[in-house]
Each structure stands twice: as C-alpha cells, then as structure tokens.
C-alpha cells in the first residue's frame, strides 16, 4: 500500500514536470498532497494529516486557482525546456536521487531507500519546475512541490518532525504562499502579465 502511494506521488511529480497548462499543474499539486494526506493518515499521525488535508489539498490549491482566475493569466506555463525533455530530466533526477539515497544510507533496507529516493526526486522536480518555467505562479508551485518532498523525507526518516516544528513549518508554508500570492498580484499590476523573465531591471 505504502509503495503504491509512493509511486503515485512520483507519477504525479512526472505529470507536473510535463504539464502544459497551469490548471493541470495546480491539480497535480493538489492530488500529490492528497496522497501525502493518505500516507500520513495511514501512519497514524492524524493531527498532521488533518492539517495537510486542510492546507495543501483544500486551501492552497483554492487560493492558487483563484489567482489564476482573477488575473486572467494565460494558461501556458511558459516553457524554457519542452515537456518531453522535462520528463526525461525528471527520470534522470529520479535515477540520481536513487543513487544519492543508496549512498547516503548504505545500510538501509530497500523500502527506506525507495521512499528516500522518491522524496529526493520530488524535491528535484520541484526545483526543476521553479527554474525552467516562466510564470511567477509556477515558481510558487515549484516551491510547494519541494516542500512536499521534504515532508515525505521527514515522515520516512524521523516519523515526522516534532509536532511544534511541524506546525511552525506549516505556518511558514501557508504564510509564504499568501505573501507570494500578494506579490503575484503586484507583479501583474506593474509589469505586463506574470512572466518572471521580465524581472531583470536590477543588475550588477
């Protein structure tokens, strides 16, 4: 069951890396968070699971969809690297993550290694989305995907962070999405659209 969930999380990361439309990207994040919710629920961490459900499955995707609708941004994610190549990069990142996890935890059993490899791969693909997509919103989503990977890492390695730390991290994630959202509105008002390649006025 757990393995199935992990594969689902990985598959959704591939879907996001190769997504062409903004709404698909947000939906991908929503479903990935949904799987994380199920995973945490199965581990018996009910409080954390409830927060994941509330924050990452309901509130944040809702907020992101709202921005998408309000500023009437065009649906393209703005590729620097095309979807096919991005998917290949995603597969390569997965391979690297597997090697990294195997070397770092050389004594670990295969289940642990796979879980770690998936979490590192998800982080890698989140970073990939941040770097190789042009919209301001995609950078937010990339950051959130990295955070999903870290959440997975924490829950596999240490059985979740201590509750107070987990709460503080969730608070940060939520506040940062809100604040980044505010700045997306400001960028949209000051520049034409929300393509981040316009943000190059400050140099040297």
Partner 1 sequence: MLIRALGWITTIIYLIIIPLLFFFGSLDALSLYFALVILVVALAAALYSNEYIAADFESGLISKPKALAYYLLFNLFIVSMLVVVVVDNLGVMWAAIEMTTLISAFLVGFYNNKGAVEAAWKYIIICSAGIILALIGTILFSYALLGTAQVDANLIKVAFIFILVGYGTKAGLAPMHTWLPDAHSQAVSPASALLSGVLLKTSIYAIIRYSILVNSFLGPDFTGRLLMLFGLFSLAVAAGFILVQKDIKRLLAYSSIEHIGIIALGLGLGTPLSIYGALFHVFNHAAAKSLLFFGAGNIVKKYHTHDFAKIKGVLRTLPFTGTMILVGILALVGLPPFSIFFSEMIILLAAVLKGSYVVASLYLFFIVLIFAGIIYHFSQILFGPKPDNLIVTKEPASSKLAFLFLLGFICLLGVAMPGPFNRLLLSAVSLIRGM
Q: Do the beta carbons of residue 60 and residue 174 sit within 8 Å?
A: yes
Which residues within the stretch 78-107 sit at the binding site for partner 1 (CB under 8 A)? 104-105
Residues in contact with partner 1, shown as a per-residue x/- string from 131 to 150 under the rule CB under 8 A: -----x--x---x--xx--x
Q: Is the dihedral of CA 102, 105, 110, 111 positive or negative?
A: negative
Q: Does 190 bind partner 1 (CB under 8 A)?
A: yes
Instruction: Provide long-range contacts, Cβ within 8 A and 24+ apart, for 175-183.
Output: 176/143, 177/60, 177/63, 177/64, 177/140, 177/144, 178/63, 180/136, 180/139, 180/140, 180/143, 181/63, 181/64, 181/67, 181/140, 183/136
Q: Does 179 bind partner 1 (CB under 8 A)?
A: yes
Backbone torsions φ then ψ of 128, nearest 5 degrees = -60, -45
Q: Does 202 bind partner 1 (CB under 8 A)?
A: yes
Binds partner 1 by CB under 8 A, chosen from 5, 43, 169, 195: 169
Name the segment binding partner 1 (CB under 8 A); options: 3-11, 57-65, 67-75, 160-168. 160-168
Identify any residues that bridge with 75 across adjacent strands, giving them in sequence order: none
Q: Does 187 bind partner 1 (CB under 8 A)?
A: yes
Which residues within the stretch 5-64 sit at the binding site for partner 1 (CB under 8 A)? none
Give the total of residues touching partner 1 (CB under 8 A).
38
Structure-token pair, residue 7: 């594969």
Kindly list the residues in this chain that would bind partner 1 in the complex (CB under 8 A).
104-105, 123, 127, 130, 136, 139, 143, 146-147, 150, 153-154, 157-158, 161-162, 164-165, 168-169, 171-172, 175-176, 179-180, 183, 186-187, 190-191, 196, 199-202, 204
């Amino acid at each position: 069951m757990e393995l199935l969930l992990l594969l689902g999380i990985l598959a959704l990361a591939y879907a996001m890396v190769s997504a062409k439309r903004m709404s698909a990207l947000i939906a991908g994040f929503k479903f990935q968070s949904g799987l994380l919710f199920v995973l945490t629920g199965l581990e018996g961490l009910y409080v954390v699971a409830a927060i994941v459900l509330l924050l990452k499955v309901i509130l944040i995707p809702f907020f992101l969809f709202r921005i998408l609708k309000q500023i009437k941004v065009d649906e393209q994610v703005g590729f620097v690297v095309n979807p096919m190549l991005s998917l290949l990069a995603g597969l390569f990142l997965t391979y690297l993550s597997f090697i990294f996890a195997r070397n770092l935890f050389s004594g670990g059993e295969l289940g642990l290694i796979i879980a770690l490899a998936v979490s590192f791969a998800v982080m890698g693909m989140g970073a990939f989305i941040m770097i190789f997509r042009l919209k301001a919103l995609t950078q937010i989503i990339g950051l959130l995907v990295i955070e999903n990977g870290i959440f997975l890492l924490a829950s596999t390695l240490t059985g979740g962070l201590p509750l107070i730390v987990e709460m503080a991290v969730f608070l940060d994630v939520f506040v940062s999405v809100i604040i980044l959202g505010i700045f997306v509105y400001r960028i949209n008002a000051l520049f034409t659209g929300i393509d981040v390649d316009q943000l190059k006025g400050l140099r040297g």
